[in-house]
Amino acid sequence: MPRLDQRRTPFFDVLMDYVTAGTIPFHTPGHKQGIGMHKRMRDFIGENVLAIDLTQVGNLDDLNVPTGPLLAAHKLAAQAWGADHTHFLINGSTAGNQAMLMTALRPGDTVILPRNSHKSAVSALIMSAARPVYMQPEVDQSLHLDHCVTPATVERTLADHPEAKAVFITSPTYYGATADLAEIERIVHAAGKLLLIDEAWGPHLHFHPELPPSATSVGADVCVNSTHKLLAAMSQSSMIHVCGSRIDLGRLQSTLRIFQSTSPNQVLLASLDVARMQMATQGEELLGRTLALARQARERLNAIPGVYCMGLDQVGKPGVAGYDETRLVITVKDLEYTGYEADRILRKRYNVQIELADLFNVVALVSLGNTQEHIDRLIFAVSELAREDRPIDIYSPTGVLTDRMKKKSYHLPPIPELVVTPREAFLSDHVEVPFRSSAGRVCAEVVTPYPPGIPLICPGERLTKETIDYLRLELKAGVHIQGPVDEKLRTIRVLP
Ligand SMILES: Cc1ncc(COP(=O)(O)O)c(C=O)c1O
C-alpha cells in the first residue's frame, strides 16, 4: 500500500465540516448539539464537544460498516501501527478481547491462555463456549506481583495440547513487563496456531525504539490496544489490529457488531483518529519526553530510603523479556505500609492519585499528559511517606505491615481441574454454599486475589481444600479478593 499522509484526520474533519455547515439536526442524540442539555452540564463540558456528539447520518459513516471517512481513519491507523487492518473500538479493549477470541474460536475449541488474563478474556470464554487451558505466569515472590508467561511455558503447553486452536498472551502486564513476543510468535506459528495478543497496556510501544517491541511488529495475528489507557484518546477508545491473512476479516467484522453499539460516540472515534495522527507525526518526540520524565522519577524514587521502583534491572528475570519504563511500580513494603494504605495517604494527604494499589506496591502511569510538576509532586509525596519521623497518619492508623504479610510466600496452589466449560458453568443454575466447606463442588465464579491478580478458581473448575485454605490465608493477610459476589468469601456460588 502507498504511504498515507499521517497528518490527515479524515474522521475528525468530517465531524467539523458538519458543524461548520450549520446543518439543522433532526436526528439523535436528543440534546441536538448541546442546545437541549441542561446548562449545568453544558457550561462545564463546553459547546464544542457537544457540537460533534453526532450520530451516524449523512456522510458521518457507520462504525459497523465503515465505507467513508472511518474506513480512511482505520487504514491510516493500520499503517501507523504496522498492521494490515485496524478497527476502532468504543467499548475498550474489553470489546477487543471479546471480539478477538470470538473471531478465532468455535464452541469446543481449545485456547491456551495465561491464568492472569483480564476478565474480558474470561467473558469471551463464556460467550464463545471455548475450552481454556491455562498457563501459570511467572511470579515475583518478593514484590508479590505477576509477570508474563515464558516461551518455554507456551511451548510446553502447546506440546501437551496439540488440539489447541490459538494462544492468547497478555503483554505488557499491568506492572509493565513484556513477554518475549518474537520467540512466542515463532513457537506458535511453527505449531500452526493463531497468536492473539492482549496489548491493552501497550498502545505506545510501536512509536519509540527504546520501548519493547509491539505485537504488530512481531507479527501477531491479532492484537488489542487500549489507546485510551496510555495515549491521548478518550476513555473507552481502543483499537484492534490484524496482521497477515490467518484471521477471517468478515467474521471479525460480524463479531464486532455483536459487541459495539449501533450509536457509537463520535467524539470517542474522533479522539482515536487524532491520537493516531499525534503518534504517527510526533510519537517518538512525545514518548521520548515521557520516557525522560519516567526515568528521572524512577531514579529519584530509588534514592528515597526504603522505596524501590523496578525498571530495566528486572529484564531477564523469568517472564520479563522487556520492560516499559513509563510504568512506575513503587514498592512501599519496607516503609511498613501496604500499597492500599500508601494509595490512600497519597490521595488524601498529597492529592496525588495513582493507578493501582496492591499489598506491597502502588503503580503510577507516566504518559504524554504528565509534566515535570506532576513528577515533582509525586516524588515529594513519596518522600514524605518515607520520612522516619512521619506523624501517625490518620489515613493509615496502623501503618504497620506485619512481618507475616511481608514474608508470605507465593506458592500458588495448582490450577484446579476443569469439570465443565466456563460457558456451561455460567449458564447453569447456581447455589450459594459456605466457602470453607465447598471442596469438591464446581465453582460458578472467578476468584482472584489482588495481588497478584491471578485467578485461583475460574468458572467450571472444581474447588479443592488446598485452594480454599490458601484463599482463607490470603484473606487473613488483608489481600483483596475480586470476582465473587461475596468478596469476603463467607459463601461461594457453585453448580447444584
Ligand atoms: C490486560 C488488560 N486487558 C484488557 C483490559 C480491558 O481494557 P479496557 O478498559 O480498555 O476495556 C484491561 C483493563 O484494565 C487490562 O488490564
* Domain containing residue 368: CATH number: 3.90.1150.150
Range of the domain at 345: 285-407
**Residue 403: inside a domain:** yes
How far is the centre of ligand 1, averaged over its atoms, from the C-alpha of 94 (Å)? 6
How far is the centre of ligand 1, averaged over its atoms, from the C-alpha of 18 (Å)? 33
Q: Probe ligand 1: pick from 90, 174, 226, 454, max atoms within 8 Å of CB?
A: 226
- Cβ 93 under 6 angstroms from ligand 1: yes
**Residue 304 shares a structural domain with residue 403:** yes
pLDDT of residue 380: 97
**Residue 299 shares a structural domain with residue 356:** yes
Q: What is the pLDDT of residues 297-351, one digit of tens each?
A: 999 999 999 999 999 999 999 999 999 999 999 999 898 888 888 999 999 999 9
- Cβ atoms < 10 Å from Cβ of 494: 21
Last residue of a domain, one of 383, 407, 431: 407
443: CATH: 3.90.105.10
Question: Which atom of ligand 1 lies nearest, measured to the CA of 97?
Answer: 4
How far is the centre of ligand 1, averaged over its atoms, from the C-alpha of 118 (Å)? 6
**Residue 298 shares a structural domain with residue 395:** yes
452: Cα separation from own chain's centroid: 14
For residue 207, give the nearest of 196, 216, 198, 219 by alpha carbon. 216
| Element at 240 (helix H, strand E) | strand 238-242
**Residue 325 shares a structural domain with residue 370:** yes
pLDDT of residue 402: 62
CA distance 342 to 268: 33
DSSP 244: S
Q: For the residues 163-189, what does the mean pLDDT come to?
A: 98
pLDDT of residue 398: 58
Last residue of a domain, one of 376, 407, 438: 407
- Cβ 94 under 6 angstroms from ligand 1: yes
How far is the centre of ligand 1, averaged over its atoms, from the C-alpha of 93 (Å)? 5
**Residue 309: inside a domain:** yes
**Residue 296 shares a structural domain with residue 343:** yes
How far is the centre of ligand 1, averaged over its atoms, from the C-alpha of 224 (Å)? 9
Residues 6+ apart with CB under 8 A from 365: 229, 230, 326, 327, 328, 355
Question: Which atom of ligand 1 lies nearest, measured to the CA of 228?
Answer: 10
What's the one-letter identity of residue 186?
R
**Residue 413: inside a domain:** no
**Residue 393: inside a domain:** yes
All three cell numbers of 341: 494504605
**Residue 368 shares a structural domain with residue 469:** no
Supply the angle between the helices 119-128 and 92-104 in degrees, to the nearest 10: 40
Q: What is the pTM of this model?
A: 0.95
**Residue 398 shares a structural domain with residue 449:** no
**Residue 463: inside a domain:** yes
**Residue 83: inside a domain:** no
Question: Which atom of ligand 1 lies nearest, measured to the CA of 117?
Answer: 1
**Residue 274: inside a domain:** no
Percent of the chain scored above 70 by pLDDT?
Answer: 95
Q: For the residues 198-209, what does the mean pLDDT come to?
A: 98
How far is the centre of ligand 1, averaged over its atoms, from the C-alpha of 19 (Å)? 33
How far is the centre of ligand 1, averaged over its atoms, from the C-alpha of 344 (Å)? 23
**Residue 300 shares a structural domain with residue 367:** yes
pLDDT of residue 391: 63
Give, using CA atoms, the residue closest to atom 1 of ligand 1. 118
Q: What is the pLDDT of residues 180-196, one digit of tens each?
A: 999 999 999 999 999 99
How far is the centre of ligand 1, averaged over its atoms, from the C-alpha of 327 (Å)? 16
DSSP track, 122-164:
HHHHHHHT-EEEEEPPPEETTTTEE----HHHHHHHHHH-TT-
- Cβ 146 under 6 angstroms from ligand 1: no
- Cβ 238 under 6 angstroms from ligand 1: yes
**Residue 399 shares a structural domain with residue 446:** no
**Residue 303 shares a structural domain with residue 402:** yes
How far is the centre of ligand 1, averaged over its atoms, from the C-alpha of 440 (Å)? 32
Last residue of a domain, one of 381, 407, 433: 407
Q: Probe ligand 1: pick from 116, 117, 118, max atoms within 8 Å of CB?
A: 118
**Residue 94: inside a domain:** no
pLDDT-wise least confident of 172-186, 306-320, 379-393: 379-393
pLDDT of residue 241: 98
**Residue 390 shares a structural domain with residue 366:** yes
Residues 6+ apart with CB under 8 A from 193: 112, 158, 164, 165, 166, 167
**Residue 407: pLDDT band by 50, 70, 90 thresholds?**
low
Question: What does each C-alpha distance from 326 to 158, 294, 308 come to in angstroms?
Answer: 33, 5, 15
Q: Probe ligand 1: pick from 89, 90, 91, 94, max atoms within 8 Å of CB?
A: 94
**Residue 375 shares a structural domain with residue 435:** no
Q: How many domains does the chain have?
A: 2
